[in-house]
Amino acid sequence: MWKALAGRRMQWQLALICLTGVLIAALSVFLISGAIRGAAQIVIGDAARAVEAAAGELAAQGAERAAQEADWAETATELKDVSLRGITLAVLRSYPGVEGGYWTGGEFLGYAFPTHLNPDQKTDLPETELREIQAAVEAARAGLDSRRVAMGPDQAVVISARYNRKLDMSAWAMKRVSGLADPREQQRRWWLAALVTAALVSIVATLAAAAGFARGVRGITRGLELLEHDYHHRLPAAPGELGEIARAVNRMIERREALEKELRREDRLRTMGRLVAAVAHEIRNPLNGMRLAAQLLKKQAEQGRIEGRHLDSIIAEVDRLEDLVREFLAFDQKRPPELKRQAVRPCAERAARLVAAQAERQGIAIEIEERGGPVWACYDEGRLTQVLLNLLLNSMESQGEGGWVRMEIEGGERASVRVTDSGPALSAGEQERLFEMFYSNKPGGAGLGLAVSRELMRQMNGDLEYDASQEHASFVVRMAA
């Protein structure tokens, strides 16, 4: 049982934290309530002095204003209201929380509450306290003590008035004192002591639990940070729920390592199978041609004559095998590229000349356009020539007879050569696997040309991309300027 309880450390920690919060809240209520009850009479006394001073100042200022107006008694009620409100606003700005006005001619005039949260909108009389205000005014008119203190469940309202018999006008002021508790309520000191003791014990226990939890979290965090660089790292063991998290992470790491080993093994087998199939397919065709040419040469040798065209056929097939081997070896080139800043157009023209004879046989026009003057870039001449040659040959093979291939050279932060042909754009499925090794959409293709070309460009800090936004098939070679 105790072992099961110890294993639920996090739940206990959360429970202690909640209990601490409840106890602290209760303690705060007790302390604040006691302080308010102890200071209630002081606060009410301060409010009474403030409203009495405000009422006296309002009465004096109102009398002075009436003395300045020779025909004050005949002044319209609306004008009196505006004039007296100005006095109220000016006087009560010095009395925070105090509102007030005048009583004359049987109605309230000049009401204002300048320190209200929305002074521009507070123009309505306090309806709830009107009866108490009227009582204070009547007491002042009768020469009695006009101070009124109305106690509510959690607030008190203090009102005072001053009467000017000559003008038959009373000035009044009022202030609300909130946060007051029932003064009859007795403080239970022994409950307060118990709450304080329980709160202190809970705080100490929570701090100890939180410190242990923080150490565990830091350990897991450090372990996860190490996992970003070392995939074989294991999280240290820990008790409770954090230990369960660490064990789950370690099991995930072990499972991932096993899956990675299996995937690497399957990937090697799959790659080897595709490589063997591609090599076998590419080598078989030249070998069949060489075998046929050799058989014809044998027959001709028996007849005492040999034709040179059969030897040319054998030599051509041997060249094809050499090209295939060179493409495979391009993925393992150890020689770093010889990067040199030079003009781009001469390299494009050299690649165009290499395929000029084949383009003429197919009736394909090759165009070279250089925008914005001579474009320079940093590249290896031999490797860029091979890349452009592969792109030109792919364009010509995809078109068959007739058509055009355009090379557009453009400068900028990264120089580029765009190779576009008159053939249709590639489908979404073809674009997805375009630069994948051994993938080809041409019958008998090895699927190495584009993969090799992209690798060569990246060795030169450049790249090879397919532009899917064009109407025709379009490849972009990018280089550092």
In the prediction, which pLDDT does 30 show?
62
Rounded Cα–Cα distance for residues 133 and 79 (Å) = 23
Q: Give Cα separations from 167 to 54, 88, 106, 172, 420 (angstroms).
A: 19, 17, 13, 15, 102
Q: Do β-strands 376-379 and 107-112 pair in parallel, antiparallel, or remain unpaired?
A: unpaired
Dump pLDDT digits (tens) for 62-92: 888 888 887 887 888 888 888 888 888 888 8
* 130/420 Cα distance (integer angstroms): 90
End-to-end CA distance of the chain: 74
Give the whole-angstrom CA distance, residue 234 versus residue 285: 54
Q: Which residues contact 225 (CB under 8 A, 6 or more apart)?
A: none
Q: How many whole angstroms separate alpha carbon 315 and alpha carbon 324?
A: 14
Nearest to 95 by CA among 48, 142, 63: 48
Find out whether 97 and 48 touch, Cβ atoms under 8 Å.
no
Scanning 7-145, the segments in alpha helix (DSSP H) are: 9-68, 77-92, 130-141
9 three-class SS? helix
Q: Going by C-beta distance under 8 Å and a sequence separation of 6 or more, which residues neighbour residue 262?
A: none
The CATH class of 2-178 is: alpha beta
Q: What residue spans define the domains of the chain?
A: 2-178, 255-332, 335-480
Total number of residues shown for the chain = 481
* CB within 8 Å of 271: residues ≥ 6 apart: none
Enumerate the H helices of 228-343 as residue ranges.
Answer: 240-302, 308-329
Predicted local distance difference test score (pLDDT) of residue 152: 75
Per-residue pLDDT of the chain (481 residues; tens, 9 = 90+): 445 544 456 556 666 776 776 667 666 666 655 555 555 778 888 888 999 999 999 888 888 888 888 788 788 888 888 888 888 888 888 899 899 999 888 888 888 888 887 656 667 888 888 888 999 999 989 888 888 888 877 788 999 999 988 888 899 999 988 766 544 444 555 666 666 677 677 777 776 766 776 777 777 777 777 777 776 677 777 676 667 777 777 777 778 778 877 777 776 656 555 555 555 545 655 565 566 667 777 777 777 776 666 666 667 667 656 655 665 555 555 568 889 999 999 999 998 888 888 888 889 999 999 988 899 999 998 889 888 988 998 888 888 788 899 999 998 888 999 999 988 888 887 877 777 766 555 554 555 678 888 888 898 999 999 998 888 899 999 998 8
Q: What is the pLDDT at residue 416?
A: 93
- Average confidence score pLDDT of the chain: 77
Q: Please state, in angstroms and rounded to a whole number, the distance separating the CA atoms of residues 217 and 245.
A: 10
CA atoms 462, 466, 470, 471: torsion sign: positive
pLDDT of residue 430: 80
Per residue in 365-386, pLDDT (tens digit) is 999 999 888 999 999 988 898 8
What does 420-441 look like in DSSP terms, one character per residue? EEEEEPPPHHHHHTTTSTT--S
Which CATH number is 335-480's, of 3.40.50.970, 3.30.70.120, 3.40.50.1820, 3.30.565.10? 3.30.565.10
Distance CA 23, CA 200 (A): 9
What pLDDT score does 185 carry?
A: 47
Q: In the block, which residue shows the tokens 């204003």?
A: 65
Long-range contacts of 413-416 (CB under 8 A, 24+ apart): 413/481, 414/462, 414/478, 414/479, 414/480, 414/481, 415/344, 415/375, 415/376, 415/377, 415/478, 415/479, 415/480, 415/481, 416/476, 416/477, 416/478, 416/479
Express each pLDDT in 291-332 by its tens digit.
Answer: 666 777 777 777 777 666 666 666 766 765 665 566 555 555
Give the tokens for residue 5: 């309880």
Inter-helix orientation angle 308-329/240-302, to 10°? 170
What contacts 24+ positions apart, CB below 8 Å, involve 429-435?
431/466, 431/468, 434/466, 435/464, 435/466
